[in-house]
Structure 1
């Protein structure tokens, strides 16, 4: 584990409170509200919603960001997306992009009705897959006033095309055929069939991207097992729900978010950099693509020497000022 990795950071200068609220589907969304200890609650303050990487939970990466930003005076709310972590939804680990996006709007509902939060100064930070879900939410929810992403993944594009368009149309069709056949199996057995993206043990011939994720989610660096799950189940999803990402196009009409500001943070060595580049190219002004030199995709989950907390803090402070 890198000495500068601090995914399970615990700050002494903030207060963490478990909170819950319903989304529009009457499902409970659970989050951690992180408040600076010196916050003046008699004054309305801005707040930031923090979304976790795809397949992760709020304890993995999100709470590090939520606490580090709160140390700079920002109220933050790290949420578990529906079907993940402590939030409701069955079966577990279900892929449901529409409900993921709605969770950010539900979080706005919660924050905007708190006496010490200014409902006109709420922003969002999406890490990895949550970057795409946050953008999807912001396109239809103008209450999200400033949008930042870190190591963003377009889960729709990567499912349709693979990284760097490495998947053929024939491979895509085969994936859909497999998922369709698997639905029969799940219907007749009543049991979910999960993809084995990340096994407990890493094959010596694993590709570099799988190895990068495995070294976070399957080692002490990033392991977090929600109640009722096993290590093998965490991160992995059902193929029959995974294919829903084929219909997920978060960057379509991204220009309609303008004039609200967008910040895309990505490592210059990240295998996922293509998604931040694509979003930046399509977005309206104001926008910024911020490169973190020497950083890979997962590096920005927890490597505190690389994560540009000052940049993120200034982005939100400047764009959520009174």
Structure 2
């Protein structure tokens, strides 16, 4: 009897703990994780007087609750319905950094916007932490479109997305599956599956290199299971790398007051050591040449990642019937990280972005 009572008590406590960790989303009946959201303003940019801000949450189709910052222009359109844009990236950043800046700036230009943290990162839910998945992360963008499409002050026929760095590739991948998206801007993009399978500049594009990478990541999986944790692989060094390499450019953004944020894994401890598993067996952008909606790919002339954007553009328009609304824009003198926050040359082409979305979200 005592054992039975103990078992019942333990079960009741477990159920109570589980129910306290989730709340039901009244909109779609999905259980939402109870997230801890920062109440104070903690972005790497200042809030404009012309924009209102609030935190919002929504669930994706994997049951993960995502956290986002919503930016709404204080001047509403005559019909009360905004065109809307969802933003995410860079890969390993948080919404308080570059994606928030883009969302905030586009809100100043008249769009209702959200900048969201991808699954397993930032203030969003998902366990274990600091993981990524091409499937789940594409779904994250689609969930953002779900959310925007159901806002009473948004026109669901006027929704676009912006993806930065590794999330540029995810955005383009999402545009290939989600026909609700009318316009996609891809900034300083990475194709993360290409990096995972071939290395930077395709220097490890051979079977032996891929095999050794698989051996290493699977060894790490065994160790993670045995130890009951998911250690991170380590982030940028505490001291700035010498020279002007792309690693030093990353350091200049993520490790200084320019872009540092305590929740950003790029600013701190890096991805989980097993995070790349799914990407190593995946090829993004398979049907990119079938994207009918408008796409703008923007890269810096001096960006180390430029080759990925150019390849993505060429593959998108090759043997395609849908080329008239596709564009590749190269920003003179700009590096990869210059398109995170403008850099010293104010390199982000805000007027071009406004023109692009005005032309395609009408």
TM over 0.5: yes
- Quote the residue 1:172 is aligned against: 210
Residues 3-14 of structure 1 correspond to what in structure 2 (within 5 A)? 7-14=44-51
Corresponding residue of 1:3: none
- Aligned Cα RMSD in Å? 2.0
1:300 and 2:333 aligned: no
1:253-307 CA deviation, whole Å, 9 max, x = no partner? 101112x111000001000001110111011412100111110000110126110
Q: CA deviation at 1:116?
A: 1.1
Q: CA deviation at 1:249?
A: 2.0
Q: Counterpart of 2:360?
A: 319
1:123 paired residue among 135, 160, 179: 160
Paired residues, number: 311
Residues 1:209 and 2:250 are matched in the alignment: no
Unaligned 5+ runs, structure 2? 1-42, 318-322
- Distance in 1 separating the partners of 2:160 and 2:54: 19
Shift, 1:67, TM fit: 1.2
Determine helix, strand or coil for the equivalent of 1:56: coil
- How far apart, CA to CA, are the structure 2 residues paired with 1:278 and 1:231? 29
Query: In structure 2, how many angstroms separate the alpha carbons of the residues matched to 1:203 and 1:114?
Result: 45
Equivalent residues of 2:71, 2:107 under 8 A apart: yes
8 Å CA contact retained: 2:134, 2:279: yes
Partner residue, 2:17: none
* C-alpha displacement of 1:207: 8.0
Deviations 1:133-166 (A, max 9, x none): 1122221110111111000000010111122211
Q: How does 1:138-217 map to 2 (within 5 A)?
A: 138-169=175-206, 170-204=208-242, 208-217=245-254
Q: Is 1:245 the counterpart of 2:275 in the alignment?
A: no
**Conservation of the 8 A alpha-carbon contact between 1:7 and 1:301:** no
Which of the numbers 122, 141, 145 marks the counterpart of 1:104? 141
Pair 203,288 (structure 1): closer, same or farther in 2 beyond 3 Å:
closer
Once residues 224 and 190 of structure 2 are traced to their aligned partners in structure 1, the CA distance between those partners, rounded to angstroms, is 28
Does 1 or 2 have the higher relative contact order (CA < 8 Å, sep 6+)?
1
Distance (Å, rounded) in 2 between the aligned partners of 1:268 and 1:312: 18
Deviations 1:218-244 (A, max 9, x none): 1111111129x89532xx112322132
* 1:32-51 → structure 2 map (5 Å cutoff): 32-40=69-77, 42-51=79-88
Instruction: State the Cα distance separating 1:55 from its structure 2 match.
Output: 0.4
Tell me the distance in 2 between the aligned counterparts of 1:239 and 1:226.
18
Q: TM-score, normalised by structure 1?
A: 0.91
* 2:276 partner SS: helix
CA distance in 2, matches of 1:241, 1:72: 36
Shift of 1:75: 1.3
Larger radius of gyration: 2
Distance 1:168 1:108, change over 3 A: closer
In the alignment, is the contact (CA less than 8 A) between 1:42 and 1:116 conserved in 2? no
Stretch of structure 1 that moved more, 6-15 or 243-252: 6-15
Cα shift readout 1:60-92 (whole Å, capped 9, x = no counterpart): 101111111111111111111111111101121
